[in-house]
Chains A and B, each alone.
Chain A
Amino acid sequence: MPLQNVSGWSKLNVYPLQSGQFAARPGLRRIHTPDAGRNFVGGFSVLNPYTSEIWHYLFDVVSASTTALRLRIVDEDFVTWQEFPLGVNVDPRIITHAVVEGEIVITSPDFDTVWGLIGSGVIFAKKVASDNPATTAIDIPRGICSSWCNRVVIANGASLFISDPISATGGSARTFVGQNQNQRPAPVFGLHEGAGGLLVVLTSRGVYGLDAAAAATGIVGSNGTDWRLLNHHETYNYASSANIRGRVFALSRGGYLLVDIENNEEEGLDDVMAPRAYGPRVANDDYRSCRMIGGDEGPLVAYGDVLSVHALADDVRSWWTCAVDTTFRARGTLRTADGKELLLCEDGVYLPGGNVDGEQLLSSEAATQPKAVLAGIVSTDPSANPTVREVTYGASVGGAGSVYCAVRGDAQSATPPADTRSLIIGTSSWGATGVIYQPTPVVSRRLQFNINGDDVSVEVAADYPETRLHVGASVEFSQSAPQRPNDRGN
């Protein structure tokens, strides 16, 4: 039977390589954990533009009671520099921040707005009098925020508040005046600075845009720049949209789609509906209540203990799971000093990279390592009533792990022997005449089945992070079994 191209199958713990190949996702190393009895509920990293340091802003609550929300500012080595209690007992629905000229504004609908300097501490924000004697500053609102044209925009309900710009001649990110207030037709659930400086506002009655030109005047929009309805998409939840390199994505019932232009091309998130032997089948009636995070390579969607990771440039999306701890619930991303993206989850900060899941030290390898799984349906003639006899699949597990295949949930596996062309730790010599390191080769294994029926749902899988995966699986059938009876019983 023909080779099945598995590149379009539902994926679990799969990651694209630049060469067009697939591999198991990189190892996830937990390099930082929350304080005892607490778990993270949000966070982000900010680069100090004047010293090139990275500062992490981490929010945590008491795990058992979801109380005592706290902001912890840590340096790039995760050494705590400031602990700032926010005075509320809540798991915040969303935490947003805006950075303008070395000042940071942190907002949420669930706590008072915080202001500080990048590289220094934070305080609760207090209004600063306007430099324009004709305008009067109002108290700083709470809500969600975004930076926009050297200003800070805060949305509270259906109201938008736009700060004065910070410029060489004055202005403050803490100066909000009544003249720069604006009403949208419905509550605002997302704010982003999109392509070309477009302010993108997601509401429950459509997505609106305001060009950067509107910010060129002291009173925003007074130069005649109008709001535009970008997309009729309706947004009903905080943290359900993300800005990826200037393009704004938002969660929809079946997945997510671009919303900064009218668009109906949705990225579906459901896995193929079929019996599964390896990993969960991820599906949801409505993804709009999930958490969307802007990743470096594409949107991330956190749904319970699984995370959808989409590499837009490679057009490959996969769900990720992780068993370093008992949960794997993503809340945001951080960044190292050299720009590498980190995953912020409730139970810690994970560094993607390497071929093992675990804590920071290699001696703390996790007991359960991930399995990369591809699942799909092999189309057959409805009258064929086929019997699957063999599935052959290959991966570069190199003697350390196994290759797995399953047909309609019936699982088989095999462990290829270590290949002597690769470096085997503990066996190979590094002497001048010893072996030369090269990537572990892909080795195929033929696994036998005797599964009869019309539903030929197949899974192929392999152990360990960064294992290369074959893009094809061979499914062999025996000669056709008796055909289905017709409606007359013949």
Chain B
Amino acid sequence: MALTPFTGTVTQAALRNNFDDKTTTLTNNAVAGQSDHVVSVTRLALAIADDISLRCVDFTPADDYELRVLRLTLEDGTAGRTVTATVTVTDGDTTFLLDKTVSVTGTTIIGTAHANLDLRTTTGDRLRLLKGVPYRLTIGAPSAGPVTRAQASLVLRSRRRTG
């Protein structure tokens, strides 16, 4: 659908066409007007005894963020070590995550291993990290250590406002 320039006598058909064009454009822009963000934490030489302060990041969303994917990347020279990345509410209140455990576990290989928790499917678990609530993304201690590099990241999406 495209705009029809008005010239001279305006026809009913041209008016309707341009109204429909605007309606469609507004709807499409509204749906497309979303913005993705990433929150990540990286720990080199992740050891079993690492203090949590070395392997977590706390953040407080400035808007409601749809939690889309939790990713864990592990890089190591040894296979078979497991690491878990977890999202929690900083003070431990599970209400703001709908009482769900949001975590993904990866196992090292010789090289780089990836693990994903995909929460994008509308028929599956759906969560948004709520504005003003402090959350924490944590890389857990490895099952056997150390792990050369561990990175956990969250893909978040905010929506545009019309209100």
* Nearest CB in chain A to that of B16: its residue: A362
Quick one: which of B17, B100, B128, B163 contacts A337, CB cutoff 8 A? B163
Quick one: which of A48, A83, A116 contacts B122, CB cutoff 8 A? A83
Are A362 and B10 touching (Cβ within 8 A)?
no
Looking at chain B's contact residues, is the secondary structure mostly helix, strand, loop, or mixed?
Answer: loop
Q: Tell me how far the C-beta of A401 lies from the nearest C-beta in chain B, rounded to whole angstroms.
A: 15
Are B10 and A430 touching (Cβ within 8 A)?
yes
Stretch touching chain B among A7-15, A49-57, A440-448: A49-57
* Nearest CB in chain B to that of A121: its residue: B126
Are B10 and A361 touching (Cβ within 8 A)?
no
Asked if A82 is at the interface (CB within 8 A of a chain B CB), the reply is yes
Are B98 and A425 touching (Cβ within 8 A)?
no
| Residue in A82, A85, A430 with the greatest tally of chain B CB atoms within 10 Å | A82
Stretch touching chain A among B20-28, B36-44, B79-87, B104-112: B20-28
| Residue in A47, A79, A103 with the greatest tally of chain B CB atoms within 10 Å | A79
Alpha-carbon distance between A430 and B64 when the two chains are bound, in angstroms: 46
Q: Tell me how far the C-beta of B67 lies from the nearest C-beta in chain A, rounded to whole angstroms.
A: 9
Are A426 and B123 touching (Cβ within 8 A)?
no
Asked if B53 is at the interface (CB within 8 A of a chain A CB), the reply is no
Number of interface residues of A (CB under 8 A): 40
Chain A 92-106 interface 0/1 with B at a Cβ cutoff of 8 Å (1 = within): 000000000011000
Asked if A284 is at the interface (CB within 8 A of a chain B CB), the reply is no
Quick one: which of B20, B131, B159 contacts A362, CB cutoff 8 A? B20
Quick one: which of B23, B100, B163 contacts A361, CB cutoff 8 A? B23
Are A117 and B9 touching (Cβ within 8 A)?
no
Chain B 63-79 interface 0/1 with A at a Cβ cutoff of 8 Å (1 = within): 11010000000000000
Are A83 and B9 touching (Cβ within 8 A)?
no
Chain A neighbourhood of B11, CB < 8 A: 425-426
Are B10 and A425 touching (Cβ within 8 A)?
yes
Chain A neighbourhood of B95, CB < 8 A: 103, 117, 172
Are B131 and A121 touching (Cβ within 8 A)?
no
Are B163 and A338 touching (Cβ within 8 A)?
yes
Are A76 and B163 touching (Cβ within 8 A)?
yes
Quick one: which of B13, B125, B130, B159 contacts A75, CB cutoff 8 A? B159
Chain B neighbourhood of A82, CB < 8 A: 122, 126
Task: Given A48-B64, A426-B10, A427-B9, check contact A119 B17 (CB 8 Å).
Answer: no
Alpha-carbon distance between A114 and B122 when the two chains are bound, in angstroms: 17
Quick one: which of A47, A53, A360, A425 contacts B23, CB cutoff 8 A? A360
Asked if B19 is at the interface (CB within 8 A of a chain A CB), the reply is yes
Quick one: which of A126, A337, A427 contacts B162, CB cutoff 8 A? A337
Are A120 and B23 touching (Cβ within 8 A)?
no
Are B63 and A120 touching (Cβ within 8 A)?
no
Asked if B31 is at the interface (CB within 8 A of a chain A CB), the reply is yes
Alpha-carbon distance between A182 and B149 when the two chains are bound, in angstroms: 59
Asked if A222 is at the interface (CB within 8 A of a chain B CB), the reply is no
Task: Given A81-B122, A83-B122, A363-B17, check contact A425 B130 (CB 8 Å).
Answer: no
Q: Tell me how far the C-beta of A366 lies from the nearest C-beta in chain B, rounded to whole angstroms.
A: 14
Asked if A428 is at the interface (CB within 8 A of a chain B CB), the reply is yes
Are B9 and A428 touching (Cβ within 8 A)?
yes
Chain A neighbourhood of B161, CB < 8 A: 51-53
Q: Tell me how far the C-beta of A28 lies from the nearest C-beta in chain B, rounded to whole angstroms.
A: 16
Are A121 and B127 touching (Cβ within 8 A)?
yes
Asked if A80 is at the interface (CB within 8 A of a chain B CB), the reply is yes
Docked complex: A43-79 residues within 8 A CB-CB of B? 47-48, 50-54, 73, 75-77, 79
Task: Given A77-B27, A425-B11, check contact A53 B64 (CB 8 Å).
Answer: yes
Are A426 and B8 touching (Cβ within 8 A)?
no
Asked if B51 is at the interface (CB within 8 A of a chain A CB), the reply is no
Q: Tell me how far the C-beta of A183 lies from the nearest C-beta in chain B, rounded to whole angstroms.
A: 30
Chain A neighbourhood of B10, CB < 8 A: 425-426, 430
Are A76 and B162 touching (Cβ within 8 A)?
yes
> Can you offer 13 A-B residue contacts whose CB atoms are under 8 A?
A51-B161, A80-B122, A81-B66, A82-B126, A83-B123, A120-B64, A120-B98, A120-B128, A121-B126, A126-B99, A338-B162, A362-B19, A425-B15
Known A48-B64, A362-B19; further 10 A-B contacts with Cβ < 8 A: A52-B161, A54-B163, A81-B122, A117-B98, A123-B99, A337-B162, A338-B163, A363-B17, A428-B9, A430-B6
The 4 closest A-B pairs by CB, nearest first: A121-B126, A337-B163, A52-B163, A82-B126
Interface residues of A (CB under 8 A from B): 47-48, 50-54, 73, 75-77, 79-83, 85, 102-103, 116-117, 119-123, 126, 172, 337-338, 360-363, 425-430
